Structure 1
């Protein structure tokens, strides 16, 4: 499983990497489990006391984001 938490607005994406290795279809699951797992692992700076920390949504300027993923062999910018 892979959890991506977007603190800007409080959105969350959870992926089952075993059945969806390209991270195309998020899994629906309770948020309370995410917070509890982080608490167990001692990652408390991500928590607001009872759940995952969030911030009011802010619009950011549009710009291209390049994501590299060494686990998939993506190490540089693609053509185009």
Structure 2
């Protein structure tokens, strides 16, 4: 079974702050600037998927949210037994 996970940040100000303050640890990797992020074409998913909204939460909380979603899917579909 394939589970599609979409990670978003629904708070535009927080999203912009994340984009403009991130650093890169891979030599010569060029990160997009905020305008490039805004200009990027987004195609909404047209199939069932899990959405994790990271706005207002740290990475640990986002992972916990994802695990809760996956646990619910597993319980409803008996996929992890």
TM-score, normalised by the number of residues in structure 1: 0.32
More helix by share: 2
TM-score, normalised by the number of residues in structure 2: 0.32
